[in-house]
Structure 1
């Protein structure tokens, strides 16, 4: 099923990671937000003001496209019962490198455990798109997770190993969890983020599985609309409904025309705002930018409300 980039971002949070949030397994949760990417399959570029609002049994997730040039996406997910909250501000900066393109994911990502008084700050790996010798897409790079309140830090390194591009990619991950005060390594992380990841306790040598991709991904479910009348007109599935329907029916010309219609409507709205001297503002977030810190997003509501679109 064709998807918007907002839906892809949302799935990173509401598909598979909820139980890990409640167990406060921050490193495993961070790894669970990665999904294999298929070369040549691209989501829709979200339009300005597009939203994606989904609820799971214990998590309400809301995304909004808060800027179009450059494209900036804001995410707010909350579990009011467990007092858990995550806030993301994501924007991708492409970097061309010969036979490859690096999609560097910028923006602040926070996971707040309010009952523990802890805030975990983290970044994301970047997407490496290779064209030669064999087309491929992989998550690579370093991820740093830190919590000033608990003095716990984690360093993760995503790598992709190939032999002249002809051997299947091994989506490896290595890292460590550190006590930042004593600088002692508490756990060593090893494995493949698309299969099994383990943590070795440096005190006693015990090794345990902290993430099983097969278990998580096999449990993914497509969100279902429970009340169509309450779905916002800005919802991704609504915005791109005609395009998606045409693609599913393999009516390529109709899909192209429907996509052009969505984009032309956005240009018309932009021209109207310019004529009236109006400035567009996000509905669910405030947006700021600084030369030093880049883009940042702040949710307007403390807790995300339940959505008429739900997963079981």
Structure 2
């Protein structure tokens, strides 16, 4: 009876997904001196080169969502069915170009001055979008490691990620390298596409801002096709009209022949140019892919796991959206204290935490995970 009452009182709060921001409403509104001063004050006692994985932001600087949800949204929050396009390509090259477009679609804008919560150990995020079922679990807290498994049995598609952000403070900026490989499997074609993630740069001085940078490599061992995508940051120049640039090439690894040149902006349009005939076409339109995104809904609230992000952070989500900062501070502290209590309990019993959904290993090759179940079941949370 007590458990039923506690479950009824617990808030389970879903929030709107991140979307593409235009120049008119992007970072500019977050560059006020008072916000910059508050951010600078956070890093007063942090030395350059410091590991920030244990650094806790106060709720005033938090988005009302977990990083686990942000990873998940990059997969299921799209207005276009890019995964079906990948699967329906007539040739290996057609499918590879569609995978490049899909990979670009997982890049989402962040706003300077706010960040998602650090997921707690064992936190999950389970959502369905059409026939695509997505499950994420935080399989390590220190260091933070996230595993993702997604399946679409109708399209016969599987996705597997295991990644670890590694943020470092560099004095006037924060650079977060994301380690780990993302896999997309088109099982009907016997093709596996492996790719990494760009690095996140948060510049504090001289001009505050957030951007993605670095090289993303996409490869398909079965076809020998490779893509090299360079995310160009305006970190040093700060040129307003030339940010979020992406350039690259698609080539045949056996002959090293460049088949297509890639050029554009990942928050606008990306084009490819055929090196044989010079024809140019758009392969990705961010406005089309990310328009009209709305908050997911509950299909069945009774089936939501206690470990679900929207459940773990429900009270904090609500407090932040209501701008009740005192209640937000209390809600965040409540979650953190509960986690410390669970750690003490495990240590006193000599127990080791074990993932419920993945087989996890950590060796010289890095963190690796494999799903316990072959497919992801339908979720009680539905993305529209």
Give the TM-score category using the shorter length.
over 0.9
Deviation string for 1:71-92 (max 9, x for gaps)?
A: 1110011111111111011111
Could you tell me how far apart the structure 1 residues matched to 2:217 and 2:237 are?
30
Partner of 1:12: 74
Higher relative contact order (CA 8 A, sep 6+): 2
Residue 241 (structure 1) aligns with: 314
Map 1:1-312 → 2, pairs under 5 A: 1=15, 2-16=64-78, 19-24=81-86, 25-161=98-234, 164-165=237-238, 167-168=240-241, 170-291=243-364, 293-312=365-384
Query: Could you tell me how far apart the structure 2 residues matched to 1:162 and 1:122 are?
Result: 24
> How many residues get paired?
311
- Cα shift at 1:41: 1.0
Partner SS, residue 214 of structure 2: strand
Q: 5+ residue gaps in structure 2?
A: 1-14, 16-63, 87-97
Q: Alpha-carbon deviations, 1:220-262, whole Å to 9, x = none?
A: 2221111100111110001011111122222211111111111
Gaps of 5+ in 1: none
What RMSD in Å do the two structures reach over aligned CA positions? 1.4
Q: Which has the higher helix share?
A: 2
Task: Give distance in 2, aligned partners of 1:71 and 1:30.
Answer: 22
CA contact (8 A) 1:162 1:169 kept: no
Q: TM-score, normalised by structure 2?
A: 0.79
Question: What's the TM-score once normalised by structure 1's chain length?
Answer: 0.96
| Structure with greater strand share of residues | 1
Distance 2:326 2:226 in 1: 51
SS at match of 1:107: strand
Once residues 135 and 377 of structure 2 are traced to their aligned partners in structure 1, the CA distance between those partners, rounded to angstroms, is 9
